[in-house]
Amino acid sequence: MKITKEEILYVANLARLNVDDVEVEKLAAQIGDILSYVDTLEKVDTDGVEPTTHAIDLTNALREDVVHPHLGAEKTLANAPDEEENMFVVPKVVG
């Protein structure tokens, strides 16, 4: 599927992106390649294939929750640029 410069500029405008002419040409070629590949995938025979949400049947991929000893204030604050009373000092960001 061929993507036009106008379509790239339209989508870039919607996304509030500034793209120059070189980027437009590059994006048009890349998106065209992606859409051509999707067209190829649409030709694959999927009759009898049940829809799935994952490629492998995995029910729980979570690790066991194991308690570990904490680092302590001295090690935690060792690389902090500034600390006071065992707490990080950070710049004020809210008026």
- Mean pLDDT for each 10-residue chunk of the chain (95 residues)? 90 94 93 91 88 80 88 91 92 85
pTM of the model: 0.48
pLDDT reported for residue 56? 81
DSSP labels for 12-65? Answer: HHHTT----HHHHHHHHHHHHHHHHHHHHHHTS--TTPPP-SSSS--S--PPP-
pLDDT reported for residue 59? 77
pLDDT reported for residue 57? 78
Would you identify the CATH topology of the domain 5-42?
Histone, subunit A (1.10.20)
Measured in residues, the chain has a length of: 95
pLDDT reported for residue 85? 92
pLDDT reported for residue 41? 85
